[in-house]
Structure 1
Amino acid sequence: MIEDPEVLSTFLDEADERIQSVTDHLLAVEKSGELSKDRAEHLQRTLHNLKGAGRMIGLTHFQNLVHTMEGLVKAAGTGLDPAELVQLLLEGADEIRIVCGSMRAASRPLDPPELDTVNDKLALFLPAEQPPEPVEASEPPHLHTGAPLPIDHHYDPAEAGIMLDDFLAEADEMLETLQNACLALEKSPSLGEINNVFRVAHTLKGSSGIINLKAMNELTHSLEELLDGARKGEREITREWVDLLLAALDELSVILKKLKTKREFDHDIGPMIGRIEALKEGRPINAARADTPGASQPAAHESDPPKPAASEGAAQSIRVDIVKLDKVINLVGELAIAKIRFDQRIHEAESLKDELARVARAVRGEFDAAKVRSDIELLDATFLETLEDQRRASEDLQRISGELQEAVMRTRMVPVAQVLNKFPRMARDISKAQNKTVNLSISGEETEMDKTVVERIGDPLMHLVRNAIDHGIESPAERRRAGKPEAGSVSIRACYQGDQVVIEVSDDGGGIRRQKVLAAAVEKGLLTREEAEVMTPAAALDLIFKPGLSTADKVTDISGRGVGMDVVRDSIAKLKGVVSVHSEEGKGSTFTVKLPLTLAIIQVLMVKAGGRRLAMPLAAVQESLLVESKDIHSIGPRETFNLRGEAMSLVRLADMLGDAGHAWSGGSSVRHIVVATSGREKVGLEVDAFEGKREVVIKTLGTVLKRVRFAAGTTIMGDGSLVLIADLHEIVRASKEMEAVSMARRIVDKAPMAKDAARDKTVEPPAGAAPPRTFRASLLLVDDSPTVLQLLSPGIESGGIRVFKALDGRQALEILKKEKIDAIATDVAMPQMDGYELCRRVRKMPGKDAMPVILFSAKGEKMDKIRGFDAGADDYFVKPFEPSAIVAKLESMLRLVQSK
């Protein structure tokens, strides 16, 4: 074989073009019902050229198959039916397309013996006087001979090499397509549906043969033979036939799961092969299973395969539409052009600077007033022109960077069909087990979301669909008594709503019985009878999301244990989403899931509350408004205000966040209020000020951030400051579950007393209490953000280092004079005195010249770090980082200082 990469690339391009041409002409023949002389000549010429190209590369099996296809076209004039010709040639074309794709992925020529299987099949339709002209091959015979199949197969994924990931992605899609096609076949048996299933099974057989995955290859071959009998009308398509087909697909799924672990494995296909053979021969399937040597439980009940050997950080891939990729590439090109223009403006500004210096020198000496005036006017005009050019260049950069950001985010978007298309099979199996007839409809499956969201939303949605069928849809007898059709309906609908995706799971079943939910909640101790009597319908329905609450009359293997709906809500909340329910007794229920398009970038409302800046996700903000203080009313310990006729609870956000001791502008004539929502619940959150809307990138701080309540994440602003993103869903839920305002006031009342007590005296620990913490070193932590100080301090102190905190460089210098400090970690961008200047001042202080100093900043460019080291810093950290990193660095620095 010729191994030259350029030659191979040229061959593959030619093969793709010729196979596509053959396919287009065959589809035209199928549509017209006849093979014209012109089309026959075109097909012969195209296949003949493709055969010659394969011969030049040295692909023996490849050219044999193409030669047979060419012979079939010639035989069409001697009685071969056009429809049959199209079917045969499309099978050959599919096989060639698979092999060419594998060659492109492997970047080397491949000539698998598997091609002979298709070649032999097609050759059966050649006239006796026109046998194929086989070319001698040195490869071993193809997989499928007449010999008995081995039962157990061992496989090492290393055999697949670089083709493994491509095969896994393709096989996943094909198995999903096969499942949906089988379900369609069960509802509407037709030759077209049978051919569809046959074609996909045939393609999967070929792909698995390419990587030598014999277990899958031989099982799909058995399925192919079973389907071929149905195509020829030799077997009737029954429920038992479809059940076996789906069971075989389950077996293939188990093989695929084992393959995904990327570890060596064994798989016994004997039992399933035996069942298929029994059906083909008309023997009972169950008996065949028992009699088959080595038979075991069906694949659907096999234990889960071992977890993948790859770590969580292993590389992952995503298929990107070429249109999206082209968009990104074009924008990168525009960005490069815009940068050149921007650099040109800088060059012009430098020229203006030189010209201005020349004029200044002229003014200082003897000068011609008229000429200087003319020079200044020219400079002024040039400056204004350069300024305008710079403004336009800046706008272009802003536009392009925004579009590029959106385009890159779009490359992470995948259709929710990847999840939703798995549900028809599940719905079919559950309804069959429940002796119910359920029609599942799916719409909006083309709606796209971030790949991470799509991958993690599957289990919560599956639980909702299972519940809809098991709990929601009544038995056929109950539906008849209620005047409903025997077949129940479950629908899944996905659509865009602003910058969110809404997924609704609805059923036309019996609905949720509110009184039964309340009774179960009282029995579980979640409510008192008095609370249950006054609870609103919406709040009562929301109880189904409480842990352990179940209204099922019986426990099944599907549901009814009271475990699940709380997990559904928690799982969706982790995706920054929310789930709500609406139900009417006797008519059905609808669960509505709202999710962000992406977890990376969101729109937020910036506010100030309790002396800190916060970002509120706009997806959970209904509106922001100013309310006069006279329109705020007190009802018991709570404050409320009227929002278009609706009494809305008012909570001071600073109190929820633990900033109750901060000065409160409650005496102001106007109050700033944000109406936050979580499902059907709403609450008014009072803040100190609004700072406008903006788009931010979400970041996390690992284990540190998890200790901060009501924090959904963090973001870094343009000035390098760190801002928390509030978890509004959790805040709304918390405010509805407790007397937030009264609790906050108790905190406000007690906070000053606690602080005074701490200042005035040292409280001795009670007998038996743990001894006070001892520290082996002290650190001065400097940052103008109280949030950063709050986040970093506990983690650093847990590492045995005492933390002194300062809000800017000047305050830090004062603490250095009063306290014994071993090291300093300081932010760079701060008011009063920045980190660079603080570092320089410390180096000039007597006895502090060797003190370890660490700078940290959101800016991590090379020049930023050089400035830090020039100022005297020992290290430079880029936000965000873990406190443990600071502790580890300090320990090594302090050991070095002590050794000197």
Structure 2
Amino acid sequence: MTPEQMRDASLLELFSLEAEAQTQVLSAGLLALERNPTQADQLEACMRAAHSLKGAARIVGVDAGVSVSHVMEDCLVEAQEGRLRLRPEHIDALLQGTDLLMRIATPGDTSTDAAVQAFLVQMAALLDPSASPVPQAPPVLVEPVLVSEPEPLPEPLLDPLGEPAADLSAPRKKQRTEGGERVLRVTAERLNSLLDLSSKSLVETQRLKPYLATLQRLKRMHGQSIRALDELKMQLEVSGQSAEVQEALGQAQRLLGETQQMLLQQASDLDEFGWQAAQRAQLLYDTALACRMRPFADVLTGQSRMVRDLGRSLGKQVRLEIEGEKTQVDRDVLEKLEAPLTHLLRNAVDHGIESPEQRPLAGKPEEGLIRLRASHQAGLLVLELSDDGGGVDLERLRRSIVERQLSPAETVAQMSEAELLTFLFLPGFSLRDKVTEVSGRGVGLDAVQHMVRQLRGFIEVSQRAGEGSCFHLEVPLTLSVVRSLAVEVGGEAYAFPLAHIERTLELPAEAIVQIEGRQHFWHDGRHIGLVAASQLLNRPASETDGKSINVVVIRERETLYGVAVERLIGERVLVVMPLDARLGKVQDISAGALLDDGSVVLIVDVEDLVRSVEKLLSTGRLERIERGHRTSREIARKRVLVVDDSLTVRELQRKLLSNRGYEVAVAVDGMDGWNALRSEDFDLLITDIDMPRMDGIELVTLLRRDNRLQSLPVMVVSYKDREEDRRRGLDAGADYYLAKASFHDDALLDAVVELIGGAQG
């Protein structure tokens, strides 16, 4: 490539950057002029942008760009001078010209000649009303030009008067400006590497703390050695030792004194170095993290234009109002939010906003309004996308659910509004009868929900009939860093993201209750299931003091569980280190990180963890939490396990035995009972025979094969009073068989006393 060709290539690249910046100015200004065609500042900004693009196109020899921007400039100048009032058809044409300029400036796009000629003819007709009318092209829906990593605006190629910049081929051509500062292109991989290295540097500085602590101990020991020598010298002087001995002792004292000074100086220097290193490492880490953050406005490039064009194509007037554009968000999050936000905005225009004929009948202005709010909240990016449309037709939604056979009509009729709205997120669900290019294409809100969940966030919808709908999204501000609560489970560190933690508490052992054979505790007016983190994470269970249990209450949408852990380490801001892809999906774990001391911590995938809990519940393998060592009074109290699938029978037996002083636990079937027997100590088992999953005969058979449990007394209580049933129970290993049909309070209690004695043994 010759120097001239290289220069031309660099100029074309700069022209493309210039077009990207100036077309954004044009799009924003033209949308504002559509609402108020006489805004002088917006007319001036748009005219300047068209003028700059004309000069830039002339410099790089792009004649089509000169022609298009020139006719756009003429139109805007006439509007400035009052000779022309911008009407919707003018705005449509100017926006099409803006898109055309971006196509002209895109390297490799050579299919613009016909479009340029058609545009020039259309603009000529609009600027000269006396000319023969040209059929107006319908507004073209142009998808906004989106880049994976939005960049700041480039430095202008031209000065405000349209003169060429000083030296376009100089090395500074790759630089951009943001707020007056130079901005350079950096790959995402390098940013990630920088953040990783800075986090490790921050961890490394923490390793100086043990050395400082050791030096402090050494200083104390040094002082003790000096005092010991002083006492020895006094004793030697009293005992009248020779001068040589005293001289040697004095020499040792002088050497210790000198080393003490050196030690004090070194300790002071190391302390200062450690503090400075920690400050620099923290600053490096904060700066690296800030490099990944971008304003939320970067994901909105072209969205206002898309909403306006889509509304025009549907015959609606729609305006997008944005709040919180400067909210800082991680680049990766912004990139992944682009598609779901675009779909939600299109959905709001198509489904939410009514036609201009319907809105006045409801007392609304003809122009529909869509609001998008972005804000920070507890380490999360909170987005609210609302419209002032008609809301969701709940009756139509009910009919659609029944027609699609998603739920019986009787059930649908009793559903709450929130329950009905969740059906909107099912795959392929739509309230539209016809498939259109705008919506109803089978890729609906389920795709949005899937993408939001990939970001470890959630989405929900609410509506007010006749007043509009609102989508509420919460996603992490960054995928690189997560605010977490570090805990200890089975001697290892794990971290729960704060976004999924409802609260932490120290739960007294006596606050744990048994409901339907499972452990619960009472919190904020509801019973919350209690599970052991050690079982979920496959760690060995640890002994507790029996007085209290540390519990982390996790939330996944409307589901709450209490997770018992050994120790709460504290809140930490962790730099996420993705697991090796070769590991695949690790159950209940999302990533790893390093704590301040350099030790590894695994970050819990709370959504996956909740699924694991529900799976254990459905299979009956959820283990109970050992409440620690029992007191002598509790040890003396006999413990009985009642296993029966009938709630009435369970409660009857539990009350009878509890009133007599026995401690009673219950299980809902044989599998649940078997888990209880393996995790806790009992003095007696009382079981039914006919139960789901595992019947009483199977339970007793398993128990008699277990070395630890084979001597446990067993009573079978069954409705079956036939001799063969009694024989089956006793042959399996039961010690006593009692028929429910004939037993009464005293019969049961007498049998228990006969087998294990009184409650206090």
TM-score range, shorter chain: 0.5 to 0.7
Residues 1:674 and 2:552 aligned together:
yes
Indicate if the aligned counterparts of 1:609 and 1:688 stay in contact, CA closer than 8 A.
yes
After TM superposition, give the deviation of residue 505 of structure 1 in Å.
0.8
Provide the rounded CA distance (Å) in 2 between the counterparts of 1:603 and 1:530.
Answer: 45
Residue type of the alignment partner of 1:237: L
Provide the rounded CA distance (Å) in 2 between the counterparts of 1:318 and 1:744.
Answer: 61
Residues 274 and 476 (structure 1), Cα distance of their counterparts in 2 relative to 1, 3 Å cut:
closer
Q: Which whole-Å deviations, capped at 9, do the CAs of 1:327-350 have from their partners, x for residues lacking one?
A: x9xxx9xx99x99xx9xx99xx9x
Residues 563 and 272 (structure 1), Cα distance of their counterparts in 2 relative to 1, 3 Å cut:
same
Provide the rounded CA distance (Å) in 1 between the counterparts of 2:479 and 2:176.
Answer: 16
Residues 1:202 and 2:78 aligned together:
no
Correspondences of 1:231-242 after superposition (within 5 Å): 231-242=80-91
Q: Which of 279, 292, 297 is the matching residue for 2:126?
A: 279
In structure 2, the partner of 1:708 is 586
In structure 1, the partner of 2:73 is 224
Residue type of the alignment partner of 2:508: E
Q: Which of 34, 37, 43 is the matching residue for 1:186?
A: 34
Residue type of the alignment partner of 2:84: R
Provide the rounded CA distance (Å) in 1 between the counterparts of 2:182 and 2:569.
Answer: 34
In structure 1, the partner of 2:690 is none
Provide the rounded CA distance (Å) in 1 between the counterparts of 2:139 and 2:354.
Answer: 30
Residues 250 and 685 (structure 1), Cα distance of their counterparts in 2 relative to 1, 3 Å cut:
farther
Correspondences of 1:619-638 after superposition (within 5 Å): 619-636=499-516
Provide the rounded CA distance (Å) in 1 between the counterparts of 2:555 and 2:317.
Answer: 38
In structure 2, the partner of 1:176 is 24
Provide the rounded CA distance (Å) in 1 between the counterparts of 2:183 and 2:252.
Answer: 55
Q: Which runs of 5+ in 2 are unaligned?
A: 150-173, 185-190, 192-197, 230-243, 625-670, 676-761
Residue type of the alignment partner of 2:112: H
Q: Which whole-Å deviations, capped at 9, do the CAs of 1:580-639 have from their partners, x for residues lacking one?
A: 323333332222222333222222222244675322222332322222343334444654
Indicate if the aligned counterparts of 1:442 and 1:493 stay in contact, CA closer than 8 A.
yes
Q: Which of 304, 311, 331 is the matching residue for 1:451?
A: 331
After TM superposition, give the deviation of residue 401 of structure 1 in Å.
1.4
Indicate if the aligned counterparts of 1:490 and 1:505 stay in contact, CA closer than 8 A.
yes
Residues 1:693 and 2:541 aligned together:
no
Indicate if the aligned counterparts of 1:625 and 1:672 stay in contact, CA closer than 8 A.
yes
Provide the rounded CA distance (Å) in 2 between the counterparts of 1:577 and 1:233.
Answer: 51
After TM superposition, give the deviation of residue 519 of structure 1 in Å.
5.1
In structure 1, the partner of 2:422 is 542
Correspondences of 1:752-767 after superposition (within 5 Å): none
In structure 2, the partner of 1:768 is none
After TM superposition, give the deviation of residue 240 of structure 1 in Å.
1.0
In structure 2, the partner of 1:506 is 386
1:560 is paired with a residue whose SS is coil
Q: Which of 558, 572, 584 is the matching residue for 2:464?
A: 584
Indicate if the aligned counterparts of 1:251 and 1:299 stay in contact, CA closer than 8 A.
no
In structure 2, the partner of 1:267 is 112
Provide the rounded CA distance (Å) in 1 between the counterparts of 2:353 and 2:109.
Answer: 44
Indicate if the aligned counterparts of 2:139 and 2:312 stay in contact, CA closer than 8 A.
no
More helix by share: 1
Q: Which of 617, 627, 636 is the matching residue for 1:741?
A: 617
2:578 is paired with a residue whose SS is coil
After TM superposition, give the deviation of residue 394 of structure 1 in Å.
1.6
Residues 609 and 497 (structure 1), Cα distance of their counterparts in 2 relative to 1, 3 Å cut:
same
1:465 is paired with a residue whose SS is helix
After TM superposition, give the deviation of residue 682 of structure 1 in Å.
4.1
Residue type of the alignment partner of 1:247: Q
Residues 1:574 and 2:454 aligned together:
yes
Provide the rounded CA distance (Å) in 2 between the counterparts of 1:614 and 1:513.
Answer: 45
Provide the rounded CA distance (Å) in 2 between the counterparts of 1:478 and 1:288.
Answer: 26
In structure 2, the partner of 1:490 is 370
After TM superposition, give the deviation of residue 730 of structure 1 in Å.
4.7
Indicate if the aligned counterparts of 1:609 and 1:687 stay in contact, CA closer than 8 A.
yes
Residues 519 and 456 (structure 1), Cα distance of their counterparts in 2 relative to 1, 3 Å cut:
same
Correspondences of 1:237-386 after superposition (within 5 Å): 237-256=86-105, 258-259=106-107, 263=108, 265-268=110-113, 269-282=116-129, 283=131, 286-287=134-135, 367-377=247-257, 379-380=259-260, 382-384=262-264, 386=266
Provide the rounded CA distance (Å) in 2 between the counterparts of 1:232 and 1:532.
Answer: 62
2:621 is paired with a residue whose SS is helix
Provide the rounded CA distance (Å) in 2 between the counterparts of 1:449 and 1:552.
Answer: 35
In structure 2, the partner of 1:648 is 528
Provide the rounded CA distance (Å) in 1 between the counterparts of 2:269 and 2:73.
Answer: 68
Indicate if the aligned counterparts of 1:603 and 1:694 stay in contact, CA closer than 8 A.
yes
Higher relative contact order (CA 8 A, sep 6+): 2
1:745 is paired with a residue whose SS is coil
1:556 is paired with a residue whose SS is coil
Provide the rounded CA distance (Å) in 1 between the counterparts of 2:434 and 2:514.
Answer: 47
Query: More displaced, 633-642 or 497-506?
Result: 633-642
After TM superposition, give the deviation of residue 649 of structure 1 in Å.
4.1
After TM superposition, give the deviation of residue 380 of structure 1 in Å.
3.6
1:181 is paired with a residue whose SS is helix
Residues 572 and 553 (structure 1), Cα distance of their counterparts in 2 relative to 1, 3 Å cut:
same
After TM superposition, give the deviation of residue 178 of structure 1 in Å.
0.7
Q: How well do the aligned residues superpose, as a CA RMSD in angstroms? A: 4.8
TM-score by length of 2: 0.63
2:112 is paired with a residue whose SS is strand
Residue type of the alignment partner of 1:677: R
Residues 1:725 and 2:572 aligned together:
no
Provide the rounded CA distance (Å) in 1 between the counterparts of 2:300 and 2:58.
Answer: 29
Residues 306 and 424 (structure 1), Cα distance of their counterparts in 2 relative to 1, 3 Å cut:
closer
Residues 739 and 601 (structure 1), Cα distance of their counterparts in 2 relative to 1, 3 Å cut:
closer
Q: Which whole-Å deviations, capped at 9, do the CAs of 1:705-745 have from their partners, x for residues lacking one?
A: 4432443322245666554322224545x379x56523361
Provide the rounded CA distance (Å) in 2 between the counterparts of 1:571 and 1:475.
Answer: 30
Residues 605 and 319 (structure 1), Cα distance of their counterparts in 2 relative to 1, 3 Å cut:
farther
After TM superposition, give the deviation of residue 563 of structure 1 in Å.
2.0
After TM superposition, give the deviation of residue 565 of structure 1 in Å.
1.3
Indicate if the aligned counterparts of 1:274 and 1:288 stay in contact, CA closer than 8 A.
no
Provide the rounded CA distance (Å) in 2 between the counterparts of 1:727 and 1:306.
Answer: 30
Residues 1:429 and 2:309 aligned together:
yes
Indicate if the aligned counterparts of 1:651 and 1:740 stay in contact, CA closer than 8 A.
no
After TM superposition, give the deviation of residue 521 of structure 1 in Å.
4.3
Provide the rounded CA distance (Å) in 1 between the counterparts of 2:618 and 2:79.
Answer: 73
Residues 471 and 614 (structure 1), Cα distance of their counterparts in 2 relative to 1, 3 Å cut:
same
In structure 2, the partner of 1:466 is 346
Correspondences of 1:828-839 after superposition (within 5 Å): none
Correspondences of 1:856-871 after superposition (within 5 Å): none
Count of residue correspondences: 561
Indicate if the aligned counterparts of 2:430 and 2:440 stay in contact, CA closer than 8 A.
yes
TM-score by length of 1: 0.54
In structure 2, the partner of 1:896 is none
Provide the rounded CA distance (Å) in 2 between the counterparts of 1:211 and 1:644.
Answer: 69
Q: Which of 463, 487, 491 is the matching residue for 1:607?
A: 487
In structure 2, the partner of 1:129 is none
Provide the rounded CA distance (Å) in 1 between the counterparts of 2:143 and 2:310.
Answer: 19
Correspondences of 1:80-119 after superposition (within 5 Å): none
